Amino acid sequence: MSELERRYHRLLRAYPADYRRARGAEIVGTYLDLAGPGRRWPSPADAADLLRGGLRQRLRAAGAADLIPGVRLAAVLAFLTATALAAVWSVLELRPPRAEWGVPSAGPFVSLGIGVWAAWLLAAVVYAAAPGRWTRRAVALALLLTVAVVPVAALAGLPRPPLFVLLPQVGLGLVALGLPERLPPLLQAAPLLVVAAGVLAGVNLLPQYASYYDWTASGILPGAAVVLLVVVLLLGTGLALRADHRGGWALAVLLTPIGLLFLHPLAGAIDGNMRGAPNPGWYALAATAVVIGLAGPALLPLTIALRKRLRAPKPTVTSDRCPTCGRTTERVP
């Protein structure tokens, strides 16, 4: 066995054991036939393809083959929510606090967040023009800038959006990385429509806006969470009526971003400051974010395991009658 073949067999461990025994040699042989002469390592595309195929087979064996379509649906909803929020924030960044308020600003903008929101708006344009790989790259860039703005602002000594604004954007962005390659033409234009709606909402809020804390705690982020939750529930119900469970998986995937959108009021409730002092303490925010970040992803494997158990075939029971005494006994073959 060559070194390349051995490495393909290692990647093949992503597949269930029964599938490897049945088709492993055929799969590896196909990749070896397509590999160029002198190649010693599988190409990144081959490795990714084998890992994706193994994941699909394992999900199919667990009775969760519709999880991947559910992830794609969740990615579309997460991306639309992220771009709509970015449109609102980009407008609200245009009115920095007045000097007499004693709040620093980043030149003509409220904070360095303007660069983050511009990257998300760019991703919406790319999505409308070239969905697929280029959109995922644009989302990855926007996600990177969302994370990087925290250390950059600290080093530059300039303001940035609060963490309870950035964390939901990160959660939505991570889910949005699963965007499908192709979409119907109507959905392809959806990001531009939600961006336009977000801009209009931001313009309406602009005269009353002083800082991120004015509206995120009481309206924008919890409102976005409610809208996202209602949309995914309605879609899930409609799909379930057709025996399509994508909506249920999409809800499971989106629970973490939805929880992060509720981060500020949830932390306020935990901190006991829901009304009197609307801004919870840093420790309450951090603890709530950790709980949300751990609880959401933990539900997926639990749901898959439960569904596999429910879908497992029940053993058949047969009855035997004793010819001497006539007593009937049951046994599992």
The per-residue pLDDT for range 161-212, each reduced to its tens digit, is 888 889 999 999 999 998 887 766 667 777 788 888 888 877 777 666 555 6
> Does residue 259 lie within any of the structural domains?
yes
- Give pLDDT, residue 84: 92
Say if residue 21 is in the same domain as residue 155.
no
Say if residue 35 is in the same domain as residue 166.
no
> Does residue 332 lie within any of the structural domains?
no
- Give pLDDT, residue 152: 93
Do residues 132 and 178 touch, judged by C-beta distance below 8 A?
no
> Does residue 323 lie within any of the structural domains?
no
From 46-55, 234-243, 300-309, the region with the lowest mean pLDDT: 300-309
pLDDT band at 332 (very low <50, low <70, confident <90, very high): very low
| More confident position, 43 or 194 | 194
Nearest to 124 by CA among 145, 139, 140: 139
Say if residue 26 is in the same domain as residue 162.
no
- Give pLDDT, residue 99: 46
The pair of structure tokens assigned to 265 is: 């009021």
> Does residue 318 lie within any of the structural domains?
no
Nearest to 81 by CA among 251, 215, 257: 257
- Give pLDDT, residue 232: 93
- Give pLDDT, residue 147: 94
Say if residue 173 is in the same domain as residue 301.
yes
Say if residue 160 is in the same domain as residue 41.
no
- Give pLDDT, residue 325: 60
Do residues 41 and 7 touch, judged by C-beta distance below 8 A?
yes
Q: Which residues of 289-302 are buried (b: 16+ CB within 10 A; e: fewer)?
A: beebbeebeeebee
> Does residue 249 lie within any of the structural domains?
yes
> Does residue 333 lie within any of the structural domains?
no
- Give pLDDT, residue 31: 76
- Give pLDDT, residue 212: 60
Is pLDDT of 322 > 50? yes
Range picked from 131-135, 173-177, 185-189, 260-264 for highest mean pLDDT: 173-177
CA torsion angle 98 99 103 105 (round to 10)? 80
Say if residue 17 is in the same domain as residue 154.
no
Percent of the chain with pLDDT over 90: 21
Question: How far is it, in rounded angstroms, from Cα 305 to Cα 7?
Answer: 30
Nearest to 215 by CA among 253, 174, 169, 165: 165
- Give pLDDT, residue 240: 86
Say if residue 233 is in the same domain as residue 121.
yes
Do residues 214 and 114 touch, judged by C-beta distance below 8 A?
no
* Domain around 190: 66-309
Residues in the chain: 333
pLDDT band at 323 (very low <50, low <70, confident <90, very high): low
- Give pLDDT, residue 230: 94
Is pLDDT of 276 > 50? no
Question: What integer best gives the mean pLDDT of the chain?
Answer: 78
Which 3-state string (H, E, C) describes the chain?
Answer: CCHHHHHHHHHHHHCCHHHHHHHHHHHHHHHHHHCCCCCCCCCHHHHHHHHHHHHHHHHHHCCCCCHHHHHHHHHHHHHHHHHHHHHHHHHHCCCCCCHHHCCCCECCECCCHHHHHHHHHHHHHHHHHCCCHHHHHHHHHHHHHHHHHHHHHHHHCCCCCCHHHHHHHHHHHHHHCCCCCCCCHHHHCHHHHHHHHHHHHHHHHHHHCCCHHHHHCCCHHHHHHHHHHHHHHHHHHHHHCCCCCHHHHHHHHHHHHHHHHCHHHHHHHHHCCCCCCCCCCHHHHHHHHHHHHHHHHHHHHHHHHHHHHHHCCCCCCEEEECCCCCCEEEECC
Say if residue 38 is in the same domain as residue 77.
no
- Give pLDDT, residue 261: 92
Domains of the chain: total: 2
> Does residue 319 lie within any of the structural domains?
no
| More confident position, 246 or 277 | 246
Say if residue 34 is in the same domain as residue 81.
no
- Give pLDDT, residue 317: 47
Say if residue 163 is in the same domain as residue 288.
yes
Say if residue 51 is in the same domain as residue 70.
no
What's the average model confidence in pLDDT over 152-165? 88
Say if residue 289 is in the same domain as residue 204.
yes
End-to-end CA distance of the chain: 42
| pLDDT tens-digit series, residues 45-93 | 778 778 877 777 776 766 666 778 888 899 999 999 999 999 988 888 8
- Give pLDDT, residue 106: 65
Select from 12, 34, 58 the last residue of a domain.
58
What is the number of alpha carbons within 13 Å of residue 280 lying toward its C-beta? 26
> Does residue 326 lie within any of the structural domains?
no
Residue tagged 């708006």 (tokens): 121
| pLDDT tens-digit series, residues 211-227 | 565 555 567 888 899 99
- Give pLDDT, residue 328: 55
Question: How far is it, in rounded angstroms, from Cα 122 to Cα 111?
Answer: 19
Is pLDDT of 299 > 90? no
What's the average model confidence in pLDDT over 233-242? 89
Residue tagged 């390659």 (tokens): 181
Do residues 206 and 91 touch, judged by C-beta distance below 8 A?
yes
Q: What is the amino acid identity at position 315?
A: P
